[in-house]
Structure 1
Amino acid sequence: MEDHRDVDVALWGKSRGLPRRYPLVCHLLDSLAAVEVLWDEYLSPGLRALLADELGTDETHARSLLAHWAALHDICKCMSCFQEQDKIGFGQLSGYLEVNADPKGHAFAAHVWLGQLLAALGYKVGRTASPAVRVAQLLGGHHGTFFPFNHHEFRNPLGSLPTLGEGRWEEQRQAIATVVYELAGHPAPPKEVSDAGGALACGLVILADWLVSQDAFLRGRISAGLPERGDVDCLERHLARSRAAVPRLLREAGLGRLSFKPGGFVDDFPFEPNDLQRSISERLPDLISDEPDLLLIMAPMGEGKTEAMLHAGRLMGEASGRPGYFVGLPTMATSDQMLRRVDGFRRDRIEGAGSLSLLHGMAWLNAAYSPEGEEVGVLTHDPMATRWLRGSKRGLLANLSVGTIDQALMAVLRGRHNVLRMLGLAGKVFVVDEVHAYDSYMQGLLKTLLGWLGSLKVPVVLLSATLPVAVGRRLAEAYLAGAGCRDQQMPEVVYPGWIYVSPKTAVPVQVASRERELHIETRDAPIASDGRPDRFPALREVLSPLVREGGCAAVICNTVAEAQQTYLTLRSWARASGAEGLVVPEVRLLHSRFEAYRREQITGEMVRWFGKEAGDDRPTAAILVATQVIEQSLDLDFDVVISDLAPIALLLQRAGRCQRHPVLDEKRRPWARDLMRLVVLNPADPQGALVIPRAWPHVYPRALLRRTHDVLARLPGSVVAIPGAIQGLVDRVYDENFDDETSPCVSDDVARLADEQAKDLYAQMAAIPLPGRVGDLSRLSGDDFVSEFSTRLGADSGRVVCCTVAADGRLMLGDEPLPVSEAGGKGGRKWFTKEQVRLVMSNTVPVPGTWLRGLSADNAAPSAWADSPHLSDLVVVRMSGEQRSGLLGDRQLWLSQELGLSDFPAVVD
């Protein structure tokens, strides 16, 4: 006869799709084992030490505590409303009363019930942050959202939440709690659980729960045999088998310890370091301590900052016990390019679990990251991340991650599972490239994140070629404040060079750099009748040598529509040049409004043509017309760059694509040799006065455009000394003080500063509190839906899928029918396969949100897409005719391989 003090193994924890119900207590013991193995084989030494410190104890005790807590997370699945979800299983239970359902579910029930259990184990009870309250709250948050603390619920859980059930339900919860406490080793209560400790502990519990909830793992455990009784001896044997099985589970998931091969800079990279790289490799090791530290690298474009970052990050990560990186960038395109560079470093220098994840909304369409048809998993010699790490919200758990900065900023937004993202960031070095490229809202979120990372002692590396002094100071101060240091003064910015700061140290290091002269010419582009600048007269004059001698040029426009029009103009001019017996340059167009697959094709072709390794692939004569997509992180080299007026920091970034690589010989750079040249097109009225086109203030602040125009007009000799003059130019344009006659404050300056302050305020409202200010963990939670759009204030855009209509009425994507119904599924569930979603997403085009107003029935996506997380927000455009034209609402659009998606007709090949 069953002893009612034993655990009832008929209480199930997992059921759907399994050959038999999986006992609840077994799932809890699996989670216990998972935390132990994660602690021993995955968490970096620095992160283990941090967790122990945040729990006020040593690492051995912290390991036992966390394993014990994981074994309690689902304990309130022992109640009627959960067990009834499997009618057959519920019918096999004996002696349990049926209780009305609770719509808040078992996670909320755990939040309510566990406080008194923990108090009985000696956990201190009191304010919201007391250990009993905090641990109950963090375990109640294991579905990604924390519930507000309520003193009445805490004091009287069964009275305040009758759905918990009394009698046998309560008896079994107590029995389960007793046995897992015993098998966890009776860990003593913690002295404290800090804000950060509670957040990271919850993240670890979520990770353990997700790992041992996989169907393959559960089926394997069922096949190996489950306990038939719930006495301690039987359950201890199950726990031993789980402890033996979980290490393989971690390896298959791609989770493990990362280490680097020993050596210096010349071991990291197959070339001698330049002055910047040598300075870091020689001086940084003597500065690094066990304190939280931040490195700010500021150097001109093309000076090897990426290699300097990887080397410095390795040194800082090894010293802090947190090897690995998250590298955040401003765009998907720059992330894709950085992936290749980090992957090369990984293959040469990494030992151990070196999984590399690419993190942005379209990452899985990147052919280098997710090859078509490839089975992903460490057991199939996966080249990058495992299939498990590619799952939703898991990518930051890889030891190496590259992605848009949004992926990290979501860790400090009030959204689901932000603590799991924070756990992923806490165990590695945090890197932000192009740190100047973010608006005030994103900078505000970044300051909050840096405050958290300072508190968590995470090493940080920031990189920029054109960072305003005030921005760099604010970011560093936010990090130091998080580390508990508000007295450390930021040293004066040195350029080019680097600044190393920690609570005890602040060291600026200036370095030598390749000295060059950037010649900046300004040309007027008269405003035409359509309100857009007429660039062609200036372009024809500047590019005339190209059609006589050959060479390569970039023309960068501020909007997609203007880039498309400029491309058509230059293409016609190039063809006319051929008719006159001159060189006919290749003309290409690159912007964001191509189908995803087409943009990737064009980007790859441009890197082959104009990249560092181009060699004989570099065209004799070519012009690339582009938008901002080429101004950062794409390693392209042109003989001359022509750009619309833009803020000075971005103009200098664009100029960095001019004669970037000095290795090109005269044959491959026949025109404009030894002259680094940027031509800026100023939109002007007939009298030559600046007129800002109406579309441009949606892209850049009017004040920065005007101030850049004025600074360039006063530029001595129209020459910028690189690197010496860069920082001064940037600070003059972005100056916030307006305390001299060269930078007067006018109305558009006031509007710009007001806008920046408002965005910073919005960021504070959207972000979670800093450690030490959290109190109730529910302040870390918020909306159920947080995405990359939440990290970009006012991001008003969407994606369309342009289809043709076949004779039988089917919608087509090229030669393939548009997937309108799910092709995958099992156990009665249906879903769209990866191949179906890849086909659709690779044909999507981003469009402004204003284009998505007033849609018609023809723009409706197939009804089956509504439940797909990838497809549900897409809009369909039905294209017809030779020019592939269709309607998006009442807006007519055209699509071509050459021009991308446009809102005007054009004759294209």
Structure 2
Amino acid sequence: MDDPLDVDLALWGKSRGLPTRYPLICHLLDSAAAVEALWDHYLSPGLRTSLAGGLGTDELHARSLLAYWAGLHDICKCMSCFQEQDKIGFSQLADYPEVNATPKGHAFAAHVWLGQLLSALGYKVGRTPSPAIRVAQLLGGHHGTFSPFNHHEFRDPLGSLPALGEGRWEEQRQIIAAVVHELTGRPEPPQEVSDAGGALACGLVILADWLVSQDDFLRKRIDAGLPERGDADCLERHLTRSRSAVPQLLREAGLGRLTFKPGGFSDDFPFQPNGLQRSISESLPGLVDGDPGLLLIMAPMGEGKTEAALHAGRLMGEASGRPGYFIGLPTMATSDQMLRRVDGFRRDRIEGADSLTLLHGMAWLNAAYSPEGEEIGVLTHDPMATRWLRGSKRGLLANLSVGTIDQALMAVLRGRHNVLRMLGLVGKVLVVDEVHAYDSYMQGLLKTLLGWLGALEVPVVLLSATLPVAVGRRLAEAYLAGAGCRDQQVPEVTYPGWIYVSPRAAVSVPVDSRERTLRVETHDVPIAPDGHPGRLPALREILAPLLREGGCAAVICNTVAEAQQTYLMLRDWVRRSETAGRKPPEIRLLHSRFEAQRREQITQEMVGWFGKDAGDGRPPAAILVATQVIEQSLDLDFDVVVSDLAPIALLLQRAGRCQRHPALDGKRPAWAKDLMRLVVLTPAGQEGTLAIPRAWPYVYPRALLRRTHDALAGLPDGVVAIPGAIQGLVDQVYDENFDDETSPCLSDDVARLADEQAKDLYAQMAAIPTPGRVGDLSQLSGDDFVSELSTRLGADSGRVVCCTVASDGQLMLGDKPLPVVEAGGGAAKKWFTKDQVRLVMSNTIPVPGTWLSGLSADNAAPPAWADSPHLSDLVVVRMSGDQMSGLLGDRSLWLSAELGLSEFPATAG
């Protein structure tokens, strides 16, 4: 029998890629030290409060408990099936019995073994949520998923899991556990571990484990000297050295405390607040003091909601001890634009560690975020984010994050490492922009997330210009239910205005807003034989003054194909038209089906032309033909906006790009002065009645298109008073009550509501339970059904990369060979370099999933891409000829810098 505190240092915890095996006990003590450092130097005060509250104790005791638990997470690496993975290391183990049993993962083994150990230390045992069971489960979940609790495994761990091994295997596990307990201060057992407390604790353990598992850190610890013996004194010295080393590790990772410079709104931004901003800056401080809650801002387009949210988020974060933000947006493009605004804000207003991450699938292609040739290490000299924070699943741990809302919603999907995402969210303020832009499935996931954030006292800011009142109420109710205030009434928003709800407050505040008049014109456009609206005659009439006198216009189409066709028709019309001696208008096309780098190039060019800071860069005459990509978060200004019929909320968003900035009013042509104008192209059949094109119901519900058409027809004098008429119009179209003759329920209404109810049900199935309803932590993990779901239900799309074929048969991207040969990484496993992957991904194009059926051998990606997480799902299109044409299956496609990827050449029209 070993000395009670004599650990066998031959038991290794880390081995691969290291000059020598790293002892298991050293890794466990490193993890404990990392939790202590994270608690002291990184976790926000509010997050520490949430963790302590979830453990039913004070912060000092919670710190000690969490360090102890982190020191146990890998304890079942003391198991034959793990140790024998390093044959040489395994051969150096003496007096360990042979174990003939089916191998099991060490994380699952910890889940089975730790319950009895903790019970012996006085942890309560009882029903599934008891502390002994919860802690065993959360530590067994440190690889990102939780296993279901089994009473037989708990009562007899060695009997139920023979792979654990008896004899010296069991003796050493007991010794290691005793050493960790002793060196972390012998913390008393907690009286409770809530479901939220267990989830956050697991997230913290994962974070600590990842930090101290980095090869560079392990090599430095090896170079500094490992313990010579496994007695308590030597191991205590190792822990002391780890405690000294880990704070630097956190700094290198970009994990630190964020603080803001003191001041008011005018300190946050270089201008005086408008009515909305002033109302929030004056009234919100008295509501948020010690009382985290949810702020819903509903105000017209162009009213400075982003600045209001950043200021409000700062006030709410400081009051709740959770400084920092995650700002969630509907698309990658809107996220990229928001990054620039948040970056400017942080440079002026933030002190301390101010890491900023951009979170979406193509973030690392963003030149502002990830410039070519960068080398990012320690968080100094104002990098946006360290290399470590840019790693998979880590971005939400930054103090400031901008990205698609999916990144936050994944915290409540039953998927791997969702608790780490939750940990990142709970330490900051959640800001969700364009709340109206999410379908019922995403709204369902958002309600679950708001319930968790309400339970954990996390401040939330929601923004929208066109949100139906019923949707806003449901979101606020979800937050209050999580906070334990299910019966509290949500006040009505007086549009424009804001509400603030918390366990102690329910306030609705109307605000003054710039009053404008939006003139809405409807033009019937016939459906052509090909099923598309015949827009050109109406567009020639609408845009004729622009050709004569100049000005800037946006033409927004509902589908990419229709935008491309419309662009070609307008391009040819402009070329043929007389412009009274003026230079012909510039004309551009913007949609999602360009190569990633080309789309970003066009987007930035359009911001330079039509943004509020365009100045002399604004063309005297220009037309932008686009799809929905410009209706949200792109700060563009046009003299007139022409749009296909779309649901009223989105039409109003599009109208928000019309004469958006008063500073430009003096530069507008005579035909556009004092006239905020939206022209809606309504597809009409032979009898002049609404005729919805075949493709549109795949984009928008038929019922919303019809109801919007009817609402526009009923506008008094074709005028919308902004802001006064906006909420009424939105609620009229999205009305869910069909109780009287003025609001009849038609078959397409039934179909829409059924679809929304089904999506909400799918969201409930895919999401984790609401707080307080998690009996077994395995309910937070995924299964075969929900693993196929994402945050966007039915997001049926793929990506293609268009190549040419050189004379020697080599595939080319421009003048560079398509990367097909693996490079770097050593002989055992080779990987593509970042530059190679960047080259491919910057040339990818999203396409509908229906385009990916019946692919040919020519569409197959190079075999070497199969193991690359970025490249494995891509499809190749081989292009040839002067017009760059190729086949995707049996579908003919053309690629040009002018049109992007299309089903017809750029010369058509």
TM-score normalised per structure 1: 0.99
Q: Which is further off, 201-210 or 490-499? A: 490-499
- What CA distance in whole angstroms lies between the structure 2 residues aligned with 1:441 and 1:523? 34
CA change 1:908–1:244 in 2 (3 A) is: farther
Contact residue 639 and residue 668 of structure 2 kept, 8 A: no
Aligned to 1:559: 559
Q: Deviations over 1:372-427 (max 9, x none)?
A: 11001235535201110000000000010100000000000010000000000001
Q: Runs of 4+ in structure 1 displaced over 6 angstroms? A: 784-789
Q: Which is further off, 511-520 or 827-836? A: 827-836
Contact residue 323 and residue 427 of structure 2 kept, 8 A: yes
- What CA distance in whole angstroms lies between the structure 2 residues aligned with 1:2 and 1:313? 56
Task: For residue 376 of structure 1, give the secondary structure of its aligned residue in structure 2.
Answer: coil
Q: Deviations over 1:433-468 (max 9, x none)?
A: 000000000000000000010001000000000010
User: 1:642 corresponds to which letter in structure 2?
Assistant: V
Aligned to 1:317: 317
Contact residue 618 and residue 668 of structure 1 kept, 8 A: no
Contact residue 454 and residue 483 of structure 2 kept, 8 A: yes
Task: For residue 371 of structure 1, give the secondary structure of its aligned residue in structure 2.
Answer: coil
Residue 721 of structure 1 deviates from its aligned partner by 0.4
Task: For residue 791 of structure 1, give the secondary structure of its aligned residue in structure 2.
Answer: coil
- What CA distance in whole angstroms lies between the structure 2 residues aligned with 1:451 and 1:4? 47
- What CA distance in whole angstroms lies between the structure 1 residues aligned with 2:154 and 2:745? 57
Q: Which is further off, 821-830 or 266-275? A: 821-830
Aligned to 1:847: 847
- What CA distance in whole angstroms lies between the structure 1 residues aligned with 2:821 and 2:124? 55
Q: Deviations over 1:573-626 (max 9, x none)?
A: 111125875541111000000000000000000000000000000001100000
Residue 488 of structure 1 deviates from its aligned partner by 1.0
CA change 1:425–1:754 in 2 (3 A) is: same
Contact residue 115 and residue 136 of structure 2 kept, 8 A: yes
Residue 686 of structure 1 deviates from its aligned partner by 2.1
User: 1:876 corresponds to which letter in structure 2?
Assistant: V
Query: Which residues of 2 match residues 774-793 of structure 1 at below 5 A?
Result: 774-783=774-783, 790-793=790-793
Residue 511 of structure 1 deviates from its aligned partner by 0.7
Aligned to 1:535: 535
Contact residue 585 and residue 623 of structure 1 kept, 8 A: yes
- What CA distance in whole angstroms lies between the structure 2 residues aligned with 1:3 and 1:765? 52
Query: Which residues of 2 match residues 488-567 of structure 1 at below 5 A?
Result: 488-567=488-567
User: 2:681 corresponds to which letter in structure 1?
Assistant: L
Contact residue 17 and residue 827 of structure 1 kept, 8 A: no
Residue 532 of structure 1 deviates from its aligned partner by 0.7
User: 2:376 corresponds to which letter in structure 1?
Assistant: V
Residue 292 of structure 1 deviates from its aligned partner by 3.4
Contact residue 436 and residue 467 of structure 2 kept, 8 A: yes
Contact residue 528 and residue 534 of structure 2 kept, 8 A: yes
CA change 1:430–1:660 in 2 (3 A) is: same
Residue 789 of structure 1 deviates from its aligned partner by 6.5
CA change 1:3–1:122 in 2 (3 A) is: closer
- What CA distance in whole angstroms lies between the structure 2 residues aligned with 1:579 and 1:280? 48
Residue 50 of structure 1 deviates from its aligned partner by 1.3
Contact residue 103 and residue 163 of structure 2 kept, 8 A: no
Task: For residue 636 of structure 1, give the secondary structure of its aligned residue in structure 2.
Answer: coil
Aligned to 1:879: 879
- What CA distance in whole angstroms lies between the structure 1 residues aligned with 2:427 and 2:175? 36
Aligned to 2:304: 304
Contact residue 138 and residue 146 of structure 2 kept, 8 A: yes
User: 2:877 corresponds to which letter in structure 1?
Assistant: V
- What CA distance in whole angstroms lies between the structure 1 residues aligned with 2:787 and 2:685? 42
- What CA distance in whole angstroms lies between the structure 2 residues aligned with 1:788 and 1:622? 44
Aligned to 2:615: 615
Aligned to 1:329: 329
Aligned to 2:743: 743
Contact residue 292 and residue 316 of structure 2 kept, 8 A: no
Q: How many residues align?
A: 909
Residue 331 of structure 1 deviates from its aligned partner by 0.3
User: 1:563 corresponds to which letter in structure 2?
Assistant: A
Query: Which residues of 2 match residues 368-767 of structure 1 at below 5 A?
Result: 368-378=368-378, 381-578=381-578, 581=581, 583-667=583-667, 669-767=669-767
Aligned to 1:799: 799
Residue 309 of structure 1 deviates from its aligned partner by 0.3
TM-score normalised per structure 2: 0.99
Q: Deviations over 1:234-293 (max 9, x none)?
A: 000000000000000000100011010001111111111001000000011111132330
Matched, 1:38 2:45: no
Q: Which is further off, 18-27 or 574-583? A: 574-583
Q: Which is further off, 328-337 or 488-497? A: 488-497
- What CA distance in whole angstroms lies between the structure 2 residues aligned with 1:668 and 1:821? 55
Matched, 1:253 2:214: no
Residue 671 of structure 1 deviates from its aligned partner by 3.9
- What CA distance in whole angstroms lies between the structure 1 residues aligned with 2:20 and 2:328? 44
Matched, 1:291 2:291: yes
User: 1:374 corresponds to which letter in structure 2?
Assistant: E
Q: Which is further off, 540-549 or 100-109? A: 100-109
Matched, 1:162 2:176: no
Query: Which residues of 2 match residues 82-101 of structure 1 at below 5 A?
Result: 82-100=82-100
User: 2:233 corresponds to which letter in structure 1?
Assistant: D
Residue 4 of structure 1 deviates from its aligned partner by 7.1
Aligned to 2:111: 111
User: 1:290 corresponds to which letter in structure 2?
Assistant: G
- What CA distance in whole angstroms lies between the structure 2 residues aligned with 1:603 and 1:515? 30
Task: For residue 677 of structure 2, give the secondary structure of its aligned residue in structure 1.
Answer: strand
Contact residue 550 and residue 670 of structure 1 kept, 8 A: no
CA change 1:548–1:655 in 2 (3 A) is: same
- What CA distance in whole angstroms lies between the structure 1 residues aligned with 2:334 and 2:4? 61
Task: For residue 882 of structure 2, give the secondary structure of its aligned residue in structure 1.
Answer: coil
User: 1:478 corresponds to which letter in structure 2?
Assistant: A
User: 2:297 corresponds to which letter in structure 1?
Assistant: I
Contact residue 416 and residue 783 of structure 1 kept, 8 A: no
User: 2:9 corresponds to which letter in structure 1?
Assistant: V
User: 1:218 corresponds to which letter in structure 2?
Assistant: L
Contact residue 552 and residue 620 of structure 2 kept, 8 A: yes
Residue 908 of structure 1 deviates from its aligned partner by 7.5
Aligned to 1:269: 269
User: 1:720 corresponds to which letter in structure 2?
Assistant: V
Residue 666 of structure 1 deviates from its aligned partner by 3.7
Q: Deviations over 1:736-782 (max 9, x none)?
A: 00234332111100100000000000000000001111111001001
Q: Deviations over 1:556-576 (max 9, x none)?
A: 000000000000000001111
Residue 793 of structure 1 deviates from its aligned partner by 0.6
Task: For residue 56 of structure 1, give the secondary structure of its aligned residue in structure 2.
Answer: coil
Residue 784 of structure 1 deviates from its aligned partner by 7.9
Matched, 1:188 2:188: yes
Residue 640 of structure 1 deviates from its aligned partner by 0.1
Contact residue 5 and residue 232 of structure 2 kept, 8 A: no
Residue 33 of structure 1 deviates from its aligned partner by 0.1
Alignment RMSD (CA, Å): 1.5
Any gaps of 5 or more consecutive residues in structure 1? Answer: none
Q: Which is further off, 669-678 or 126-135? A: 669-678
Q: Which is further off, 97-106 or 304-313? A: 97-106
Residue 783 of structure 1 deviates from its aligned partner by 4.1
- What CA distance in whole angstroms lies between the structure 2 residues aligned with 1:824 and 1:368? 26
CA change 1:2–1:128 in 2 (3 A) is: closer
CA change 1:671–1:825 in 2 (3 A) is: farther
- What CA distance in whole angstroms lies between the structure 2 residues aligned with 1:273 and 1:334? 24
